[in-house]
Amino acid sequence: MPVDFGAARPSLPPEFEELATSEDEIIGESMAVVVPVPEKPYKAQVVTALGRAIVQAAQLLGLDLGEGEYTEDVPALDPEMVRFLAVLSSAAEEYGAPLPVALEDIKGDRELTALTAAIMALSKDRDFRDFLSQPMAEEEAPTELPEDEDEEMEVESFDFATRMRPRMG
């Protein structure tokens, strides 16, 4: 399922476009390792259905991935598909309705079918849609150091003059 962001993709200067594409490929390939290679190829229609479910869920995120269809059985999931599964898995877990199969537990068509059904159900869930449209809570790092009165007292009571006197001995 090649990712086509359509109008949702921001335009970047050419030098950054190449870097962003390269980074996307690296992330996708590293995520693809999470899903074990199946003993036998996934059926084309099962992977196509999963791709359509992902496209439907991506629309909730404001992404237009376009549609694609697999005409032949698939030996392994595309890195882009795995990456979107990871994003959806994380969102579903935060929402409180985790996907029924962890990415590392995908073994074949049965698991992909279960994921497809769960993603389609989440895509139709109005509360999930509202959850995704909420702004992300930004955790702000503290800008001030906590005050430690004991430390200040130690500095005040330290007698620098006695430390500076030459020692005889």
pLDDT in tens, 128-156: 999 988 876 665 555 665 565 555 555 55
pLDDT of residue 69: 87
- Extract the runs of DSSP E, i.e. beta strands, from 15-167: none
pLDDT greater than 80 at residue 162? no
d(CA 76, CA 73): 9
pLDDT > 90: percent of the chain: 40
Beta bridge partners of 42: 74
| Residue at token pair 């595309």 | 78
Per-residue pLDDT band for 2 (boundaries 50, 70, 90) equals: very low
Q: What average pLDDT does the structure give for the chain?
A: 78
pLDDT of residue 121: 96
d(CA 21, CA 133): 26
pLDDT > 70: percent of the chain: 62
In the three-class reduction of DSSP (H, G, I as helix; E, B as strand; rest coil), residue 37 is classed as coil
130 CB neighbour count, 10 Å cutoff: 11
CA angle 12, 14, 17 (to 5 degrees): 60
pLDDT in tens, 16-58: 666 666 666 666 565 556 787 888 999 999 999 999 999 999 8
Cβ pair 76, 35 in contact under 8 A: yes
d(CA 84, CA 31): 10
pLDDT of residue 3: 44
pLDDT of residue 40: 92
